[in-house]
Structure 1
Amino acid sequence: MSETLLRVEELALHYRTRQGAVRAVDGISFDVERSEALVVLGESGCGKSTLAKTLMRVLPRNVGHRSGRIVLGDVEVSALPDERFRREVQWSRMALVMQASMNALNPVVRVGEQVAEPLRVLRGWSRRRALARAAEVFELVGVSTDFLARYPFELSGGMRQRVVLAMALIAEPELVILDEPTSALDVLTQASIMNALKRIKRELGTSFILITHDVATSSELADRVALMYAGQFVEVADAARFFAEPAHPYSQMLMASVPRLHQRLRPEPIPGQPPSLFDPPGGCRFAERCPHRFARCDREPPALPFGDRHRVRCWLHADDAQPGDDS
Structure 2
Amino acid sequence: MSERTLLEVEDLHLHYQTRRGVVRAVDGVSFDVRHNEALVVLGESGCGKSSLAKALMRVLPRNVHQVSGRVTLGGTELMSMSDERFRRDVQWVRVSLVMQASMNALNPVVRVGEQVVEPLRVLLGWPRARAMARAAEVFERVGVSTDFLQRYPLELSGGMRQRVVLAMALVTEPELVILDEPTSALDVLTQASIMNLLKRLKRELGTSFILITHDVATSSELADRVALMYAGQIVEVANAAQFFDAPAHPYSQLLMASVPRLHQQQRPEAIPGQPPSLLEPPPGCRFAERCPSHFERCAKDPEFFRLDDRRRVRCWLYEGRGEP
TM-score (norm 2): 0.97
Name the CA distance, whole Å, in 2 between partners of 1:62 and 1:296: 35
Aligned to 2:107: 106
1:137 partner amino acid = V
Question: Is 2:143 the partner of 1:142?
Answer: yes
Name the CA distance, whole Å, in 1 between partners of 2:133 and 2:75: 32
Alpha-carbon shift at residue 113 of structure 1 (Å): 1.0
Aligned residue for 1:266, secondary structure, equals: coil
Alpha-carbon shift at residue 86 of structure 1 (Å): 0.2
Alpha-carbon shift at residue 104 of structure 1 (Å): 2.5
Aligned to 1:168: 169
Q: Deviations over 1:19-45 (max 9, x none)?
A: 111000000110000000000000100
Q: How does 1:39-54 map to 2 (within 5 A)?
A: 39-54=40-55
Aligned to 1:293: 294
Name the CA distance, whole Å, in 2 between partners of 1:268 and 1:59: 37
Q: How does 1:19-98 map to 2 (within 5 A)?
A: 19-98=20-99
Name the CA distance, whole Å, in 1 between partners of 2:61 and 2:131: 31
Structure 1 stretches of 4+ moved >4 Å: none
Name the CA distance, whole Å, in 2 between partners of 1:32 and 1:50: 18
Aligned to 1:318: 319
- Paired positions, count: 321
Q: Deviations over 1:170-197 (max 9, x none)?
A: 0000000000000000001001001111
Contact 1:107–1:153 (CA under 8 A) maintained in structure 2: yes
Aligned residue for 1:216, secondary structure, equals: helix
Q: Deviations over 1:187-212 (max 9, x none)?
A: 01001001111111001100000000
Aligned residue for 2:273, secondary structure, equals: coil
Name the CA distance, whole Å, in 1 between partners of 2:174 and 2:218: 23
Name the CA distance, whole Å, in 2 between partners of 1:2 and 1:148: 39
Aligned to 1:119: 120
Contact 2:99–2:105 (CA under 8 A) maintained in structure 1: no
Name the CA distance, whole Å, in 1 between partners of 2:133 and 2:31: 37
Q: How does 1:153-302 map to 2 (within 5 A)?
A: 153-302=154-303
Gaps of 5+ in 2: none
Alpha-carbon shift at residue 18 of structure 1 (Å): 1.6
Contact 1:102–1:164 (CA under 8 A) maintained in structure 2: no
2:18 partner amino acid = T
The RMSD of aligned alpha carbons is: 1.2
Q: Deviations over 1:229-261 (max 9, x none)?
A: 000000000000000000000000000000001
Aligned residue for 1:78, secondary structure, equals: coil
Aligned residue for 1:84, secondary structure, equals: helix
